[in-house]
Amino acid sequence: MIKYREDIDGLRAIAVLLVIAFHCGFARFIPGGYVGVDVFFVISGYLITKIIFTDAQAGRFSIWDFYERRVRRVFPAIIFLYICTLMASAIILLPDETLQQANNTAASALFASNIYFYTQFDYFDASSEFNALLHTWSLSVEEQFYIFFPPLLAFFHRRFPAALKPLVGFILVITLILSQWRLATDPSAAFYLVQYRAWELMIGSVLALGMIPESRGGVVADVVGAIGLGCIGASALLLTKISSFPGINAAPACIGAACLIWSGSARRTLAGRLLSIPPARFFGKISYSLYLWHWPIWVLGNQVYEPRNSAGRLVYIAIAIIAATLSWRFVEQPFRKRDEAVSSKRVVAIGVGSMLFVLAFAAATPFVARAYWQVPARVERVAKFINYRADDNFRVGSCFLTTRDTFASYARDTCLPISSTKPNYLLLGDSHAAHFLPGMMAQRDINLLQATASGCRPVADPTGERRCTALMHFITDEFLPRHRMDTVIISARWANDDWPALRRQIEHVRRYANHVIIFGPIAEYDRALPRVLATALYRNDPSVLADHRVADRRALDAEFKRKVPTTGAIYVSVYDAICPDGRCTLWTADGNPVQSDYGHLSAEGSKLMIDRIRRNHPFPLK
């Protein structure tokens, strides 16, 4: 066994508290708190490699013993979580949502949730907001890594010891390069898949193998420890949700974690003493259970009551800490001690059998949920709309770029066809422009061009994800100066501080278009409208809808009504179109919700809104 280090528990505490703050409503203070997961990867790579290498050097390494330790460490707490989450989902969520939760559980129990979430959830998948196990993707990354790395490490240590450290260095460098490359071609893959995250664990392995001379303490160790804290803190404060990540942007946090591990290996540095204080050690000890519990409590709790202020959010965090403490004490700890009378192979077999039980429990839970809810057919039909897929309606991957796309994916020939016989209308913006595509395409008297992407808004000097900013700059700086448009429609999920940059964009675009139309904000809900409607129908309580409608959209619409006409552009109040006379439209003619999630229009909803808009703003414009 390797020596216990209090400072590493403190580092775990930093990692888990960063993640919790980011996930549970405090991202505005720590916008890059998600780097806590990357810190966990470095710690895990260090500890696991240290254990394997120490045992291999002593001639006692056994792959079965290794997997027994993993089963004892990982399985009890997460199996308990699976059961509790499934039971809570059956009570809180609608049956179709519980079915999706069961699928998520099965993928997680097979340690393949990262692959499942990458392949199954698209940009518009509203069901992901109810995924109480979304965070288990990181555990799947670790477990997939430990399927391949320990045998590889043991084999090279035994047969080719001189090549072991160069091999680890090569894996680190090549997977970092692959991560950065994949980030430019498929950001979701770079985020979720193990081959693009392995370098983070390998940083820990480099330390564990002594590839960097061990710290001897002194001033150097203190300075390196301080640098480590600074790197993690800077990453948490400077990165945001729209930062290009992971790739090289994950390196500072990973290097920071490595600095703290290295500096604390010789003596108690100042950073090490800070990390070793009792509260830090406490949160470090419960960090695994706390990481497991915080997200399901937040996700499922928000379906019962969504906190409106920091105090409410802190209540959920406190509940997660209590649940994690109980899990650590009564679930984790009893299984950590090894029983010499039970063989490693048997423990692993019991672990596998336990996961098979979870799979069976997950398969049965949706049937229990249906029996519990007894959902009428009308409600069930509405609830199914939560799984509405918008890819084809938005031309995802070609004319609407999402997290899986790059600017190179934009199909210019398809998306920017110029007509010599019809007025050319360009639809420019983010997903709240793209959701008007079905309605605009139904207008046969215009030629529609589309330039839409998630990750930024269509304003002057846009900031955000590269695929989006590159597309916006291409359209406004290259395409429009060469191709005059009859009309440019600019639409987005506008924010309260967008007006100055939008005004400059209008001024710029008016040089290259006969008319500029601004589509304003749409009515939004704090959760998917199909779920709100299904709940209202099930309870026979229409007031549920008003409770979940977001209020500030109306105020922003009023502001844009005043300001946009002063620029010479035409303003279209989408809010008035969907909520005429203050009563919001909820259904389309086919009996389905007009919006498929918190605010995006369905295909039929898009056609309905464009028809209403044309009544008050006839086009083609002359």
DSSP SS3 for 488:
strand
Collapsing DSSP to helix, strand or coil, 432 comes out as helix
pLDDT tens across 576-586, in order? 999 998 889 99
Sorted by where each starts, the structural domains of the chain and their CATH numbers stand as 6-373 (no CATH), 386-616 (3.40.50.1110)
Question: In terms of pLDDT, which residue wins out, 588 or 338?
Answer: 588
Greatest alpha-carbon pair distance for the chain in Å reads 87
| SS3 annotation, 33-75 | CCHHHHHHHHHHHHHHHHHHHHHHHCCCCCHHHHHHHHHHHHH
- Total number of residues shown for the chain: 622
Reduce the secondary structure of 211-279 to three states and give it as a string.
CCCCCCCHHHHHHHHHHHHHHHHHHHHHCCCCCCCCHHHHHHHHHHHHHHHHHCCCCCCHHHHHHCCHH
Q: What is the pLDDT of residues 382-395, one digit of tens each?
A: 888 877 877 778 99
Asked whether residue 341 carries a pLDDT value surpassing 80, the answer given is no
Residue 440 pLDDT class (50, 70, 90 cuts): very high
pLDDT at 252: 97
Q: How far is CA 276 from CA 1, 66, 256, 407, in A?
A: 20, 28, 17, 46
Average model confidence (pLDDT) for the chain?
92
Q: How far apart are CA 245 and CA 243, in angstroms?
A: 6
pLDDT of residue 18: 97
CA atoms lying within 13 Å on the CB side of residue 48 = 29
- Asked if pLDDT for residue 352 goes beyond 90, the answer is yes
Q: Give 416-437 pLDDT, tens digit per residue.
A: 999 999 999 999 999 999 999 9
Burial of 294 (0-12, 13-18, 19+ CB in 10 A): buried
Q: Which of 281-285, 345-349, 549-553, 569-573 has the lowest mean pLDDT?
A: 549-553
Nearest to 428 by CA among 461, 470, 471: 471
pLDDT of 31 > 80? The answer is yes
Q: What does the block give as tokens for 494? A: 């506008």
User: What pLDDT was estimated at residue 127?
Assistant: 56
Tokens for 206?
Answer: 């480099």
Which of these, 255, 160, 164, lies nearest to 204 by C-alpha position? 255
Helices (H), 404-551: 412-415, 431-434, 437-441, 466-474, 480-482, 499-509, 529-539, 543-548
